[in-house]
Structures are given as C-alpha cells and as structure tokens.
Amino acid sequence: MPYKKYPLLNKKNLKTISIDERESLVSVKDFAEPYTSEADFKSFLKSFPNFLASKELLEFSKLVKHARQNGKPIMLGMGAHCIKVGLSLIIINMMQRGWISSISVNGAFIIHDFEIALAGKTSEDVKKNLHKGIYGNTEETGLFLNIALKEGFENGLGGGESVGNYLIQSKFQYNRYSILYNAYKLNIPVTVHPAIGTDFIHYHPNFDGAVLGALSEKDFILFSSIVSKLNNGGVYINIGSAVVMPEVFLKAVSFCIGQGIKLKGFHTAVFDFIQHYRPLENVVKRPISNGGKGYYFIGHHEIMIPLFVAILLNS
C-alpha cells in the first residue's frame, strides 16, 4: 500500500562522480611491502602500512629524533611494569646512547628496580603470600630502601638521587641491571613520585613519612623544571603508569604555565596495554591542546617498547 506522506525517492535523481574525481583515504602507495627473511630492519619498517597506529608510531619516532637533534628534553615516565617484563637493559641502553633526558617513576618502580640490583630478581606472588602474612615483608628491601631515602634526605638529595647514590655505594652484584644505578652514573635526573600507602616499604618499621614527603616535594620541583623546557619540540613519554605519572605530569604543566612559562608545540605519547582515562586526558589531550600532538599506543610493553626503540635506532 502506498504511503501518501512518504513518497518514494527516485534513484534516477542521484548525481554520481567518477572515482578519479573523488578524494580517497586509502591508496596502494600506503600499502605494506612484503618483508623477506634476508632483508634488513629498514626493509622491515617498509612492511608497515602507512595507516593508523603504524603510521603514528613512525611519525612519533621522527618527532623523538628531532627532539634529540635539537637538544630538547626527551622525558620518560614509567610504572614498575617495565621492569617486571624485562625491559631494564633496553632502557639503560637508551640512556647510554643519549636518547633519554630524564626518568620519572612511581614508588613501586624503585622497589622492583632496587630488588633487581640487590638480588637479580623481584615481584613476589601476591595471591600466594597475602594470606600467609608475608606479602611485602621482605626485610632487605624495606630496610635498605628506607635507609637510602633517609641518607639521601640528610645529604640534600631527591628521591631518585638517594636510591641511585645508595646503589653506587652498595656495589650490589646485579647493579648493571638497575635503571636507577645507571641513571645516577650517567647524571640523568630520576624523580620519584610515590603515594604513601601504595608501597610495602611504607609499613616497614624503618619508614619515615616526613622523609618521603620531603623527597617527593623536591622531586616534583625538579620534574617541573624539566617539563618547563619542553616548549617547541620536547617530548614526554608515559609507559605503563595509569594514574600517578599522568596526574603528576598534568600538575607540572599547570605549575609551569602558572608561572608564565610557555608550553606549546611539544609532543606526548602513552604506551599501555589498554586505554585509560587519565593517560588519555592528562598526557595525550590536555597538555598539548595549545599546540603539539599526542599519541596513544596500545599493546604489550614487552613487544611495543623494543619495537619503538628499534625504530628510533634504525629509521
């Protein structure tokens, strides 16, 4: 039955255009090139299609290279997971090659990095140990780290410096695997941004909250001072910190701008397993809304970070 209120449209009235006139978003010039087993890494990069995440990863890598060439900061913020998936030596190598200007971490990071230096192993089984009453009760970690922080505080150091200096003095067997140890040797700033109650060294008998608070304040000022140099080409990279480092970074940006410091035309990136609210807003979007570009790369750290570093070194 025909509906008088809705007369049918006539297909013959449609105006068409040639595909030659139409703008297209996908072209064979952007297709991936097949990779052969005898080819080198640069040929492997050509096997990336020029679309979406692969296009952005190559684009961001070029921005990082430009930052290094122009003497702009390349700031690295991390959670502890980078250590727990075995990436320490890759990050240490990047520091040694001059690709990292500063490192900023949460409280868990210094625990795992310290245990690696001390014993060559870290990360206990929480589920197994929690109800036995032994989770987080590792004596050496709680005792030595709190001593390191107190000694650093007494000597006017920041949190990252305190642990790095303690590791230098300790001469632990596995120091070469420690990011904090190597950063101290290379005079690369490390700032630590803990939240009291999140780390098991906070309930060790030797813990002093006033010391940790003072060190954290000192490190925030240092972190903000480095952020103030990002203008016009600097880079901030957040790897695996879903809350603490994105919040600290945004506050540092605000602190700088509130002092009349210009911050625009810099670039940010997040590498994480999934997309989180705070890294997306506080790293990728809000800080660069006045100019620059932010990127969000989703994937496992143990795959994405070696790939990203290899691109930097070979592109």
Predicted pLDDT of residue 150: 98
Cβ atoms 199, 159 nearer than 8 A: no
**Fold that domain 69-314 belongs to in CATH:** Deoxyhypusine Synthase (3.40.910)
Token code pair at residue 52: 């979406």
Residue type, 235: V
d(CA 168, CA 181): 6
Cβ burial 28-55 (10 Å sphere, 16+ → b, else e): eeeeeeeeeeeeeeeebbeebeeeeeee
Predicted pLDDT of residue 33: 86
The pLDDT > 90 percentage for the chain reads 90
Note the pLDDT tens digit of each residue in 152-171.
999 999 999 999 999 999 99
Predicted pLDDT of residue 1: 67
The helix-helix angle for 159-170 and 139-154 (nearest 10°) equals 110
What's the average model confidence in pLDDT over 42-50? 89
How far, in whole angstroms, is CA 11 from its chain's centroid? 54
The pLDDT > 70 percentage for the chain reads 100
What's the average model confidence in pLDDT over 174-180? 98
pLDDT at position 254 over 70? yes
Note the pLDDT tens digit of each residue in 12-23.
999 999 999 999
pLDDT at position 172 over 70? yes
Full-model pTM: 0.93
Pick the range with the lowest mean pLDDT from 26-40, 114-128, 291-305: 26-40
What's the average model confidence in pLDDT over 209-225? 98
Predicted pLDDT of residue 174: 98
DSSP lists the bridge partners of residue 78 as 105, 239
CA dist list (Å): 210 to 60, 137, 165, 217: 40, 21, 20, 11
**DSSP SS3 for 192:** strand
**Which residues have CB under 8 Å from 2's CB, separation 6+?**
none
Average pLDDT value for the chain: 96
Phi, psi of 119 (to 5 degrees): -130, -5
Cβ atoms 247, 282 nearer than 8 A: yes
pLDDT at position 315 over 80? no
Predicted pLDDT of residue 152: 98
